[in-house]
Structure 1
Amino acid sequence: MFNLTKSERSWVLYDWANSAYSITITTAIFPLFFGQIAREGGLSDTTSTAFLGYGNSFYALLIAIMAPLLGTMADYKGRRKKYFTVFMVVGTATTALMVFIQPGAWIPAIVLYMLTAIGFSGANIFYDSCLVDVTEPERMDKVSTTGFGWGYIGSTIPFVASLVIIFMMAGGDMSVLNMTAVRIAFIITALWWFGFSIPFLKNVKQRYGIEPSPQPVKDAFGRLYKTFQNIQSYKHVFLFLLAYFFYIDGVGTIIKMATDYGSKMGISSTILLLDLMGLQIVAFPFAILFGILAKKTSTRFMLFVGIGIYTLITILATFLPLMGPDMLIPMFILISFLVATSQGGIQGLSRSYFGAIIPPDQAGEFFGFFDIFGKFAAIMGPFILGFATQLTGSYSIGLGCIVILFALGAFFLVLCGRVEK
């Protein structure tokens, strides 16, 4: 952070800001909160899980459809940060509005959750595309991985504060969440996210773009159509997006299913929670290390390293049930450590590699496609895992099948490198 320029540092701070949302709302506290108020509203656990899943699918589909158009419109000069601001404010405001959710009011809860997610995901399209504005191509790896690294610490601080408040107000009994404590956690998250977005708003300027159009929506559709027509001109970009589609789906599936898998293996909630916290802390230096090593080797090489480590993670997780009860917790911690070494690195370098191979004056448009591939990638991995698990009756074998995604990702990344040469 200390050897970055002012604009680079301000850009990185938004990763620090919005990561509080990622862990508190997406991963940890809100899902538990929603399950509790849904039960109070008369829904079964199965039904509440289904509605939360529908909410996730709906907002992801909406953003995926909107992303290329939003990104294309943001390429007009002076527009990128304006669109970012709109989505960031929607996300932070609706997160704060969650304090008014009453016990049993699961419908307002899921509606607000989808609005927070739309704000979060929409702002990220414009945030990612601003990478080309704040730094030069040779510094993108460093800046992008620094963002992910500091994002892990930025998520941990408000999350730990929220957990302490929830634990204290629950009197040590976490089986039922204290509503006041959860509302305080939502306020902490919203304030953290908005407050640390201010440097981005003040110091990040759009350097690249095209002249504004009197018919921006119509012209944006026209530019999208032209890009599809000329996709052969960007063959290496398309091949990288295919590679990213597969390997990031594998990464996302591992991240989403790790806690569920650990609990099915008999690991206690306390150990899983501590493991999650440790992962966030360990991931910080390794994300930055990936950026340093990418400069000494190459970005593509370190992406292959990340894919290789995740392949190893998947294989170890597949054989975890065969290792005996004494080895269960140590091996799960080892797997979590391996996740921490590569999680931020592979995501950060994917962002910077893509930023380096696209036309900078079309960054918004291309990052819109980047977001589409990332959003739709969230479908295949869970489906493969579920289908293979149901077919074989083994969760471990189902998880092992995720190796296919990493193999396909590596294959298309090889092709991308050959086209670039």
Structure 2
Amino acid sequence: MQKNNPRTINAWCMYDWANSVHSLVIVSSIFPVYFSATARNEQGGDTIQFLGFSIKSSVLFSYSVSISFLLVAFLIPFCTAIADYAGRKKLFMKIFCYTGAASCAFLYFFTRDTLTISVLAFMLSLIGWSGSIVFYNSFLPEIATEENFDRFSARGFSMGYIGSVLLMVFNLTMILFPDMYGITDPSLPARISFLTVGVWWILFAQIPFRYLPDNTYNKKSEGNWIFNGFRELKKVFGQVRTQVNLTRFLLAFFIYNMGVQTVMYVATIFGANELKLPDQSLIMTILIIQLVAIAGSYLFAYLSGRLGNIYALMIGVAVWIGICTGAYFITQEMEFFILAGVVGMVMGGIQSLSRATYSKLLPSDTQDTASYFSFYDVTEKVSIVLGTLVYGLVEQVTGSMRNSVLALLLIFVVGLVLLSRIPSQKVYRIRLDSTGN
């Protein structure tokens, strides 16, 4: 297959456009706000009953994210190994995509009376969303050459931010001006938003499903898929262990991603519960973050070209340390807005550059891209599990989210130290070339 084909690259980027509405509407903005307002007891308090347990709604939200990604971390390696062996990456991507999108649409029925099943649907949407992304990411080394990884990865994230903002603006008009749509039920605009996410996701996913290659390396699925999938996973795991810089990067990524993803998942809850910001301010803040993140993705792609991927990532992690420091002290709405702008600048950049860096560190002749990316995905998901778990535990024990922010600050410091142990990819490749290897 010809690499760097513009039509294929654009189709690949469209999956970011399709699925990023889940990240914005369900994970970061409308759903967390609606969840905080709906997950209340009869007296209006935030301590509720869930499956027989008494728990704060914010802690339940954090734990739901943790459990979802823990399940993904166990499931994905086997799915990717089977997909690589059988040449069925696109099929598995479709299964996870449709599962996640249908679960989002089901959240239309989320009310106080349907809390339990709605939380389970939210968890299933996270599983579908994150599961599909690992297969999506694994297409990058197959459709592009290494010198374009940073640029195309940034383009994908930027497309995701633009698409999600467009749908978000439409949803905001319903939430802020329900009379324009003849809506009288105050809960209906948010619930319609969840439905639109599912429809949008499925609709635009048809573009990458149409143009992405199917079975690039002409794998033949002979014998037992599951048994041979396990063998495939064992083989790739053995290869990963021999790649020194790859394993070092995965460890550093595991640590700093704990902080990055946790901030993304709990920022809205922090603003609502700790700063008592109104719903409209929280949603508009997330919208600002998405817009700024478009520029941030390209900024870090530029920095990686000038300094190398690792040095650019170190700059991003250093900024995250500053963000956590500021978050611990903020008390005013305007301070929250300013901090959100900084978050947006580094959020997209560090995510797109992490994906591109991992792609560069893969063996150049690998055909098991999905299996390799399963290790990246498991690292990411387990880090989310531990990050949100630590955040929730610290809040539960101390009673303050600000103490949880301090825990994230320490996580970023450790991540920065670990990154400093890895040769910058630009410098590393120059050194290899100079030796003639």
Q: TM-score, normalised by structure 1?
A: 0.86
Q: Does 1:221 align with 2:230?
A: yes
- Match for 2:328 among 287, 303, 318? 318
Equivalent residues of 1:10, 1:203 under 8 A apart: yes
Tell me the residue number matched to 1:324: none
Tell me the residue number matched to 2:103: 94
Matches within 5 A, 1:16-165: 16-34=17-35, 39=40, 45-47=46-48, 49=57, 51-76=60-85, 78-100=87-109, 104-165=113-174
Matches within 5 A, 1:15-414: 15-34=16-35, 39=40, 45-47=46-48, 49=57, 51-76=60-85, 78-100=87-109, 104-169=113-178, 178-206=186-214, 207-208=216-217, 210-263=219-272, 264-320=274-330, 328-359=332-363, 360-385=366-391, 395-414=401-420
Bigger drift between 28-37 and 200-209 goes to 28-37
Say if 1:110 and 1:274 are closer, same or farther in 2 by CA, change over 3 A. Answer: closer
Q: How far off is 1:123 after superposition?
A: 0.8
Q: Deviations over 1:60-89 (max 9, x none)?
A: 121110111111122236311111111112
Equivalent residues of 2:93, 2:135 under 8 A apart: yes
CA distance in structure 1 between the aligned counterparts of 2:96 and 2:245, rounded to whole angstroms:
30
CA distance in structure 2 between the aligned counterparts of 1:5 and 1:92, rounded to whole angstroms:
27
CA distance in structure 2 between the aligned counterparts of 1:386 and 1:145, rounded to whole angstroms:
31
Identity value in percent: 28
How many residue pairs match? The answer is 411
Q: Deviations over 1:288-344 (max 9, x none)?
A: 2222332233122211111111112122223435xxxxxx34433332221111100
CA distance in structure 1 between the aligned counterparts of 2:179 and 2:34, rounded to whole angstroms:
13
Say if 1:65 and 1:44 are closer, same or farther in 2 by CA, change over 3 A. Answer: farther
Bigger drift between 285-294 and 6-15 goes to 285-294
Q: TM-score, normalised by structure 2?
A: 0.84
Equivalent residues of 1:39, 1:104 under 8 A apart: no
Q: Deviations over 1:204-248 (max 9, x none)?
A: 114347543322211221232334445441222111111001011
Bigger drift between 89-98 and 38-47 goes to 38-47
Say if 1:183 and 1:293 are closer, same or farther in 2 by CA, change over 3 A. Answer: same
Unpaired segments ≥5 residues, structure 1:
322-327
Question: The residue matched to 2:423 in structure 1 has which SS?
Answer: helix
Bigger drift between 118-127 and 219-228 goes to 219-228
Q: How far off is 1:267 after superposition?
A: 4.3
Equivalent residues of 2:81, 2:232 under 8 A apart: yes
Say if 1:97 and 1:383 are closer, same or farther in 2 by CA, change over 3 A. Answer: closer
Question: The residue matched to 1:416 in structure 2 has which SS?
Answer: coil
CA distance in structure 1 between the aligned counterparts of 2:86 and 2:389, rounded to whole angstroms:
41
Question: The residue matched to 1:213 in structure 2 has which SS?
Answer: coil
Q: Deviations over 1:167-186 (max 9, x none)?
A: 333799x9x96344334223
Q: How far off is 1:196 after superposition?
A: 1.4
Q: How far off is 1:120 after superposition?
A: 1.1
Aligned AA for 2:140?
L
CA distance in structure 2 between the aligned counterparts of 1:243 and 1:318, rounded to whole angstroms:
24
Equivalent residues of 1:320, 1:331 under 8 A apart: yes
Aligned AA for 1:399?
V
Unpaired segments ≥5 residues, structure 2:
51-56, 432-437
Equivalent residues of 1:148, 1:287 under 8 A apart: yes
Tell me the residue number matched to 1:325: none
CA distance in structure 1 between the aligned counterparts of 2:225 and 2:97, rounded to whole angstroms:
22
Say if 1:222 and 1:253 are closer, same or farther in 2 by CA, change over 3 A. Answer: same
Q: Deviations over 1:362-397 (max 9, x none)?
A: 211111111111111123334555566677776545
Tell me the residue number matched to 2:434: none
Aligned AA for 2:318?
G
